[in-house]
Amino acid sequence: MKVAVVGYPNVGKSSLVNRLTQTREAVVHERAGITRDRKEVMCEWNGRRFTLIDTGGMDFQDEDPISGSIREQAQAAIADAQVAMLVVDARAGIRPGDEEMADLLRRSKLPVVLAVNKIDSAQDIPSTGEFWALGMGEPVAVSAAQGLGTGDLLDRLTELLPEDDEAPDEDIVRLALIGRPNVGKSTLVNQWLGSERVIVSDVAGTTRDTIDLPFEFEGRKLVIVDTAGMRRQAKVQESVEYFTTLRSQRAVERADVALVICSAEDGITAQDLRIAELAMQEGCATALVLNKWDEFGLTEEDLIHERAKATRKLRLRPKVLTASALTGRNVARVLQEAIVLGDRMTGRIPTPELNRFLAETTQTKQPPAKQGHRLKLIYMAQIGERPPRFAIQVNSRGRVTRDYAYFVENRLRARYGLDGVPVIIDFNERGSGRRAPGGDHRADRLKGVQEETFEESADVGFLVEWEDEDGHDDSGDDDLDE
C-alpha cells in the first residue's frame, strides 16, 4: 500500500516523511527543489505497514525543464498510490499552487489527507481553518519539526488505506547503482524499467536522493537503488551534495550487490576503484560496468586492459561488464549478472564438495613448511552467508602464510564463480576452536596468524591493494582526480 506525499515546493514534505518514518531517508535542506525523483520509504503504524512516496515540489508556473520532470514524477506517484497526502504550509497560507494541487487530486479520485505543516504550537492550530477552502476535507495540524499531530495524521492515513494481505517476500536481491556523477546510472535504471522512472539530465548531480525501485526481471524480484554521484571528498563543497553522498554510502550498506557504473570514455578511474573498494568493504558483491561502451568505439583490447586493471587493483577481482544505457545494448545481461552475484552471496556449497576442493588445492600446491613442520589443511566447511564465510581446520595457524591463504582464496573464487563476492576464510587450529550455538564452527578471522605473514586484523577477501601504473602505492592519497 502506498501514500503519495505531494505539495508545493518547500512546504516540508521530506521533513514530514522523515518524521513519520522515524528515519533520515529523505534529503532535507532549506533550499527549495532539493527533492526531485520520487522516493519510497517504508512506514509502520499500529501494526500496519505502508510506503510513503516522497515527491518533489510541484510548481505549475515554473518553466524550468527539471521542474517539468519533477511534476511528471509526482503525477506518476499519484497514479501509483492508493491514498494521497497533500502537504501545505500554515505560515504561507493558501497559495495558487495549493489550489492547483487540490484540483489535480480531485481529478485523480484518490482519498486525500490534507496535512497543514509548520503548526509548531497549540496557538498556531486556528490558522488551519482557512485550508478548508481547498475542498480536501478536515485539515490535520502537524509539525514535522516538533512532531506535533503526527499520530493523528498516521491514524487518518491508515483509516483510508485498503487492507493488504500480501505477505512480504524475503527472496529479494537489493541492487545498488553507485559511481561518479553523470556516468549514466539513472539512464540505466530507466532502461531496465522501460519508463522514465527517474529524472535524467545532462547536468551532473541531478539525482540527489537514493531511490528504491521494486522491480521484477525474468521472474526474480529486485529492489534497484539509484544513488547520487559520489565524488572525492575534496570536491564535495555543498552541504546538499555531502548529505546525498552520505545516503549513497548507506545505500551500499543495505544492498546485496553493488554495480559501479563507469564511463567508457574515461575507463576505470582511480575514483571508480575507490568506490568499488567502499562497496566491497561494506560486504557487497560487486561488479564494474563500463557504460557508453559502443558510443566511443572502444576495442576488445581496451576491454582486456580495463579488466586487467580491475583484477590487479582489487582483491575481490570483480567482473568488468560493458553496456550502453542510452541504446539498451547489454543492459539485460548486466542485470542477469547482478542476480547471479546476489545468488552467490546467499548460496551454500556442500561440505563434501569443499573437502574435495581442499584436497585438490593442496595437491596443486603444497602448503608451506616452517622449521621442518608442514602446514596441513584438514577440513573445510561453509559456516555463513551474506557474505559467504568458510572455516578451514589446520594443524597450526602459525604456519599459514599470506601467500598461501590468498592462493586458497583465489582457487575458491575460480572454482565456484565468486569473483566480486566478499569471501571470509577462518583458519582454525585443530583442538582450539569451539562450537557456537546451532553447530557452526567459528573462530577469529585470520587473527592469531603470525604477524610476519598477516596483519593482525586482516580479512581475506577484504584487503585491497592500491598501486598506480608505476607500481607506486597510493593507498593513503585521498586527492585523486576524477
Contact by Cβ (8 Å): 130, 104: no
> What is the β-pairing status of strands 434-435 and 48-54?
unpaired
Most confident of 398-412, 418-432, 453-467: 398-412
Average pLDDT over residues 340-356: 92
> What is the β-pairing status of strands 373-374 and 369-370?
antiparallel
pLDDT at 313 over 70: yes
| CA–CA distance, 89 with 14 (Å, rounded to integer) | 13
> What is the β-pairing status of strands 2-7 and 211-217?
unpaired
Report the amino acid identity of residue 464: V
Contact by Cβ (8 Å): 285, 387: yes
pLDDT band per the 50, 70, 90 thresholds, residue 237: very low
| Cell of residue 120, nine digits | 509548531
Q: Give whole-number Cα distances, 416 to 273, 345, 357, 359, 411, in Å.
A: 24, 12, 10, 15, 9
Looking at residue 211, its pLDDT comes to: 62
Q: pLDDT higher for 235 or 72? A: 72
- Check residue 85 and report its DSSP letter: E
pLDDT at 445 over 70: no
Closest CA to 251 of 342, 182, 178, 339: 178
| CA–CA distance, 23 with 21 (Å, rounded to integer) | 5
pLDDT band per the 50, 70, 90 thresholds, residue 195: low
Looking at residue 66, its pLDDT comes to: 55
Q: What pTM, to 2 d.p., does this model score?
A: 0.56
- Rg value, the chain, Cα: 26
**Mean pLDDT, all residues of the chain:** 76
Contact by Cβ (8 Å): 212, 294: no
Looking at residue 250, its pLDDT comes to: 67
Render 90-158 in DSSP notation, one character per residue. Answer: TTT---HHHHHHHHHHHHHT--EEEEEE---SGGGGGGGGGGGGGSSSS-EE--TTT-TTHHHHHHHHH
pLDDT at 68 over 60: no
pLDDT band per the 50, 70, 90 thresholds, residue 48: confident
Contact by Cβ (8 Å): 409, 454: no
pLDDT at 423 over 50: yes
Lowest mean pLDDT among 381-390, 399-408, 462-471: 462-471
Looking at residue 170, its pLDDT comes to: 58
Distance from the Cα of residue 158 to its chain's centroid: 29
Instruction: Report whether the peptide linkage leading into residue 387 is cis, meaning its omega lies within 30 degrees of zero.
Output: yes
| CA–CA distance, 209 with 246 (Å, rounded to integer) | 10
Q: pLDDT higher for 431 or 408? A: 408
Average pLDDT over residues 82-111: 87
Looking at residue 242, its pLDDT comes to: 37
Which residues does the annotation place in the binding site for GTP?
Answer: 7-14, 54-58, 117-120, 179-186, 226-230, 291-294
How many other C-beta atoms can be found within 10 angstroms of the C-beta atom of residue 451? 7
| CA–CA distance, 51 with 391 (Å, rounded to integer) | 41
pLDDT at 408 over 90: yes
Average pLDDT over residues 418-447: 62
Looking at residue 360, its pLDDT comes to: 95
Which residues does the annotation place in the binding site?
Answer: 7-14, 54-58, 117-120, 179-186, 226-230, 291-294
Lowest mean pLDDT among 132-136, 223-227, 287-291: 223-227
Contact by Cβ (8 Å): 98, 134: yes
